[in-house]
Amino acid sequence: MIILYSMEPLDHIEEKTENPFYFNNLFLIKGFVTGKNQFWHYLLGLSAAFLGYLSFQMVMMIPLLTAAMRNGVTMSEITQNPNILFNPEKVGIDKSLLLALMMGMFVFTMLFFWIALKYIQKKSFTSIITGFEKIRWKRYFFSFAIWGSLITILTIASYLTSPQDMELRFNASNFAILLIVVVTLIPIQTATEELLFRGYLMQGFGLAFKNGIAPLIITSVLFGMMHSFNPEVKAHGLLLMMPYYILFGAFLGILTLLDEGAELAMGIHCANNLFSSLLICSKNSVLQTDSIFYTSVENPGGEFLVWVIMASICFIILFKKYKLSNWKLLIR
């Protein structure tokens, strides 16, 4: 017997539950009972998202290439290292403007994805965010506050203990512009990634494999692969950086399945990118910003261990607060 908390009209649910298998996880059930779920529907949804991302990227390349060549960057340099276009100093472009252009790709990605989701697959964003009737915004903002607090505490502690490694670069006018860009666009960027990975693909692979473990593993690996082109990976290597990205995806995926919704994951992801952009930047940061601090020392191994501690603290807090103790939800 399946108990759904008023997620859809009862007659619609009964029609859907003629399928020979059922989920216990409300979030995975939501993917099963809403919209059209044939393979080609998911293929079109992903294609639409990629088209949105690619179309804006192609448009964005025009001003970036123009600015880079005016700043003395040659096409051979760009061919050898395409990431040079995302280095504001090399391109000769304002950091916040470049950040806005980069985040614009996700605005178009979300728009194209929403069109396919709504008009082809007949699903809503709510259906791929939560297993419940409404999005639980309190969860989103609570996890955002927890992760943001941890990043802030860590940054301040690092500055106090190793001031020689961190340069204070606060500029009020530049920071004000950065704050506007970050607060406006990073929630869209991180929500887009969560909608696709912890939402859409998690439910889609759940339908395909009839469990939660396979979707958790696959989406975590795909999440890591998506970040494999980041400058941190080129600087420090796949073997060092990929475990971090994959485990971050797994951390968010586990929370999504245990809490039967992606609100906690969305809040953490947003806080991670937002506070990191505002507080600290380094030579190989994927987001080059006019942050408060700049660090010349990069220790990805040590940072990974610190991240594990942060993730553990955050998980324990969320585990206790929301009673995320039903581990069977990870399976079905």
Report pLDDT for 82: 81
Question: Quick check: is 182 in a domain?
Answer: yes
Give the predicted TM-score (pTM) of the model. Answer: 0.91
178: its two tokens = 């950065």
- The b-or-e profile of 200-209 (16+ CB within 10 A means b, else e) is bbbbbbbbee
271: its two tokens = 């806080």
Question: Quick check: is 177 in a domain?
Answer: yes
Q: Which domain holds residue 239?
A: 129-332
Q: Secondary structure of the chain: what % helix, strand, coil (to 5)?
A: 75, 5, 25
Per-residue tens of pLDDT for the chain, all 332 residues: 333 433 343 334 434 444 444 678 999 999 999 999 999 999 999 999 999 999 998 888 888 888 888 888 888 888 888 878 888 888 889 999 999 999 999 999 999 999 999 999 999 999 999 999 999 999 999 999 999 999 999 999 999 999 999 999 999 999 999 999 999 999 999 999 999 999 999 999 999 998 999 999 999 999 999 999 888 888 888 888 999 999 999 999 999 999 999 999 999 999 999 999 999 999 888 889 999 999 988 888 899 999 999 999 999 999 999 999 999 999 87
From the CB of residue 112, how many other CB atoms can be counted at a distance below 10 Å?
A: 21
The SS3 assignment for 261 reads strand
Report d(CA 63, CA 60) in Å as an integer: 6
Question: Quick check: is 108 in a domain?
Answer: no
Question: Quick check: is 20 in a domain?
Answer: no
Based on the structure, what is the number of domains in the chain? 1
Question: Quick check: is 246 in a domain?
Answer: yes
Question: Quick check: is 239 in a domain?
Answer: yes
Size of the chain in residues: 332
DSSP 55-83: HHHHHHHHHHHHHHHHTT--HHHHHH-GG
Cα dihedral 64, 67, 71, 77 sign: positive
Question: Quick check: is 326 in a domain?
Answer: yes
From the CB of residue 68, how many other CB atoms can be counted at a distance below 10 Å?
A: 22
DSSP 91-160: HT--HHHHHHHHHHHHHHHHHHHHHHHHHTS---HHHHHBSSSS--HHHHHHHHHHHHHHHHHHHHHHHH
Report pLDDT for 8: 40
Answer for the pair 167, 292: CB distance below 8 angstroms, yes or no: no
Report d(CA 193, CA 118) in Å as an integer: 18
Question: Quick check: is 71 in a domain?
Answer: no
Adjacent-strand bridge partners of 280? 293
Adjacent-strand bridge partners of 167? 294
Report d(CA 328, CA 308) in Å as an integer: 24
Report pLDDT for 182: 97
209: its two tokens = 């494999």
